[in-house]
Amino acid sequence: MEKALVDTVTAVDALRERRGECQSHTYLFTALARAAGIPTKVVNGLVYSEDYGGFLYHAWPEVFVGQWRALDPTLGQDSVDATHIKLTENEREDPLKLMEFVGRVGIEIVE
């Protein structure tokens, strides 16, 4: 899938468009993993981006393979790193719930 600022709301939309942002990649990955019998959940939070010089809203999946493991198909990561901050899980939750964190989360980057 091409990374593009195209908002899709389902895995079918993502498959048809063949492009999208993090939610598109996550919804499509989640649907395919579940179809293969792998328990999967959608996670929402923040990810640090050097390209954008800060933290951005982001979505990624977690799969259960003996334990829950987070990965990021949008960024091509088979395991997420410390740049990912999980705030909510479960795609049934309203993504606007993240708004309660806006202005309340302080992050200091220590090099």
- Kindly report, residue by residue over 57-98, the tens digit of the pLDDT: 888 999 999 999 999 998 889 999 888 988 888 766 555 666
Its domain, for residue 95, covers 2-101
In a domain, 40, yes or no: yes
Residue 89 sits in a domain whose CATH number is 3.10.620.30
| In contact, 70 and 86? CB cutoff 8 Å | yes
28-46 pLDDT per residue, tens: 899 999 999 999 999 988 8
pLDDT of residue 93: 56
The C-alpha R_g of the chain, in whole angstroms, comes to 14
For residue 107, being part of any structural domain is answered with no
Query: Is residue 33 domain-resident?
Result: yes
Residue 110 lies in a domain: no
Q: 108 in a domain, yes or no?
A: no
Cβ atoms < 10 Å from Cβ of 14: 23
How many independent structural domains does the chain possess? 1
More confident residue, 85 or 3: 85
